[in-house]
Amino acid sequence: MSTTQQSTSASARKIHFAFTDEQDQFRSAVRRFLNDKSPTTEVRRLMATAEGYDPAVWRQLSEDLALPGIHVPEQFGGAGFGMVELCIVTEEFGRALLCAPYFSTAVLAA
């Protein structure tokens, strides 16, 4: 195989990944919510409590934003989005160090 063929073959195998505008807007909305509900001071406070999370914030995440069912098909009561949206949510939750039972509920249980 010539150098030109190898170069063309290698470039054809590259994966170009970018979020859609809607996914970027979704990330921004989740980030805004977390900036408001999960600042560092609140995370530290919640870590010292027996529950370890704020039930009111968990209710908002679950009922208002429907984030635990983001990747669950609509026919089963979820939002019907995909794994990319689930990854966006979990990445933002990790970034904010959200204290909530999200992983055990939305990822393991679902």
| Residue showing tokens 């979990």 | 90
Q: Is residue 16 domain-resident?
A: no
What φ, ψ does residue 72 adopt, rounded to 5°? -80, 135
Q: Is residue 10 domain-resident?
A: no
Count of structural domains, the chain: 1
The pLDDT, as a whole number, for residue 94 is: 95
Residues 69-106: pLDDT tens digits? 999 999 999 999 999 999 999 999 999 999 999 988 88
Q: Is residue 18 domain-resident?
A: no
Instruction: Please give the model's pTM, rounded to 2 decimal places.
Output: 0.79
Please tell me the distance from the alpha carbon of residue 37 to that of residue 39, in angstroms, as a whole number: 6
Q: Residue 7: which pLDDT band, with cuts at 50, 70 and 90?
A: low
Residues 24-80: pLDDT tens digits? 999 999 999 999 999 999 999 999 999 999 999 999 999 999 999 999 999 999 999
